[in-house]
Amino acid sequence: MRSTEKAASAVSPGFEGFAGALLDWYARSARDLPWRVGPAERAAGTTPDPYRVWLAEIMLQQTTVPHATRYFYAFTQRWPTVEDLAAAADGDVMAAWAGLGYYARARNLLKCAREIAAAGDWPRSESGLRKLPGIGAYTAGAVAALAFGERAPAVDGNVDRVFARLLAAKGDWKAEKTRIASLVRELVPADRPGEFAEALMDLGATICTPKRPNCLICPVRDWCAARAEGEPERYPVKPEKKAKPKRQGEVFAIFREMDVLVERRPDSGLLGGMLALPTTEWSESGAGGRPEWAKEKGDEIGEVRHVFTHFELRLTVVCLDLEDTPEGFEWMRVSKAGDAFPSVFKKALKLAL
* Active site members: 57
Residue 279's DSSP bridge partners are 251
Residue 328 CA, chain-centre distance (Å), reads 31
How many alpha carbons lie under 13 Å from residue 31 in its C-beta half-sphere? 17
For residue 288, CA distances in Å to 58, 244, 285, 315 come to 34, 20, 8, 12
Asked whether the beta carbons of 249 and 313 are under 8 A apart, the reply is yes
Helices 65-78, 90-97: axis angle to 10 degrees equals 150
In angstroms, the CA 157 to CA 201 distance is 10
* Phi, psi (rounded to 5 degrees) for 315: -120, 125
Among 313, 302, 303, 305, smallest CA distance to 270 is for 313
Characterise 17 by phi-psi region: left (phi > 0), alpha (psi -120 to 50), beta (else): left
Cis peptide before 13 (omega within 30 of 0): no
How many alpha carbons lie under 13 Å from residue 97 in its C-beta half-sphere? 29
How many alpha carbons lie under 13 Å from residue 162 in its C-beta half-sphere? 27
Beta strands 330-333; 275-276: pairing state? unpaired
